[in-house]
Amino acid sequence: MIAIGSVEHLGLATLLVGVAVIGFALGIVETLEPTVMSVLRSGARTGAGMGALSAARGVGTFAGNLAMGLLYGVGASLAYGYAAVVAALAGVLVLSAIPASRRQAPPS
């Protein structure tokens, strides 16, 4: 939405709605990631799980920003298309991991 608002000149309202949606989504993700990690890695393994989460976030942020920057130099639509595909694949990966984690979780 942010890209549409700025590229297509749809106005400030579209841009602000896009920013609000991204802010809301980011707030959910930033809250749920550590919560899910603490549930999946309970007990003595929680610290290792949180460290792995932080390492993965750092590498992912660096690699994602590098790829987006390089692709944006070629063309904005290519960069945004790449971002959409990666986000969809990440969603599928996360959703497919949920049933697997439920099968492996010890009974409470």
Overall number of domains in the chain: 1
d(CA 80, CA 18): 14
What's the pLDDT score for residue 62?
Answer: 95
Q: How far apart are the first and last CA of the chain?
A: 43
Residue 18's pLDDT is: 81
Q: How many CB atoms lie within 10 A of CB 16?
A: 13
CA distances from 73 to 9, 68, 80 (A): 21, 8, 12
Residue range of the domain that includes 53: 2-104
- pLDDT score, position 73: 92
**pLDDT computed for residue 4 by the predictor:** 53
pTM value > 0.85: no
Instruction: Give the C-alpha separation, 23 to 96, whole Å.
Output: 25
Q: Splitting the chain (108 residues) into consecutive groups of 10 residues, what average pLDDT does each group show?
A: 56 82 89 82 82 89 92 90 90 77 58
Q: What is the pLDDT of residue 59?
A: 94
